[in-house]
Amino acid sequence: MPKVESFTLDHTIVQAPYVRVAGVEHNGKGATVQKFDLRFLQPNTDSIPTGALHTLEHYLSIFLREEIDGLIDISPMGCRTGFYLAVWEEHPVSKIALALHHALQRVLEQTEVPAATAKECGNYKDHSLFSAKEYARQVLSQGISTDPFDHSRLIQAD
């Protein structure tokens, strides 16, 4: 059976919200891809409804690309407690956490969901800007830690 990094994480002892490195891949030809776990909610206590998760995905796909050079992908976790982010090269956790903080701040200012049409999206009817803002606000008010096991290590936002 292949080893899946996220299956080795003890989800009962993490302290969300946090950002952590979930893996680094080197292809041996000079290419490096890093994966991050952007955990919004405490696992097995709550989950983001699909409308909010989907709307956050649309916003983060734009705002995090503006903040992070080499971003490859940001996608929701199946458990709906956060997102995975893949990026070229290695980056400090604090940089990704700060970028997420800024992106969530921008979500609070939005009035229209981007690319929410049948042509641009696979389920354009399933969006909730209201709910996306509520979860963004919740993560910002709790603070984003750079240590998944110690929520006192919050990033200091400017």
Compare residues 34 and 55 and give the one whose CB is closer to Zn ion: 55
CB burial readout 68-105, b (16+ within 10 A) else e: beebeebebbeebbbbbbbbeeebebeebbbbbbebbe
Compare residues 20 and 127 and give the one whose CB is closer to Zn ion: 127
Report, in Å, the least distance between residue 52 CB and Zn ion: 13
Compare residues 72 and 157 and give the one whose CB is closer to Zn ion: 72
Report, in Å, the least distance between residue 24 CB and Zn ion: 29
The two tokens of residue 123 are: 């389920």
The two tokens of residue 14 are: 């993490």
Closest to 121 in 3D by CA, of 33, 79, 61: 61
**Beta-carbon contacts of residue 128 (< 8 Å; ≥ 6 apart):** 49, 51, 52, 54, 55
Report, in Å, the least distance between residue 75 CB and Zn ion: 11
Compare residues 116 and 154 and give the one whose CB is closer to Zn ion: 116
Query: Which residue's C-beta sits nearest to Zn ion?
Result: 121
Report, in Å, the least distance between residue 54 CB and Zn ion: 6
Report, in Å, the least distance between residue 64 CB and Zn ion: 15
- 41, 47 Cβ separation under 8 angstroms: yes
C-alpha torsion sign, points 127, 116, 66, 5: positive
Compare residues 33 and 121 and give the one whose CB is closer to Zn ion: 121
Contact footprint for Zn ion (CB under 5 A):
121
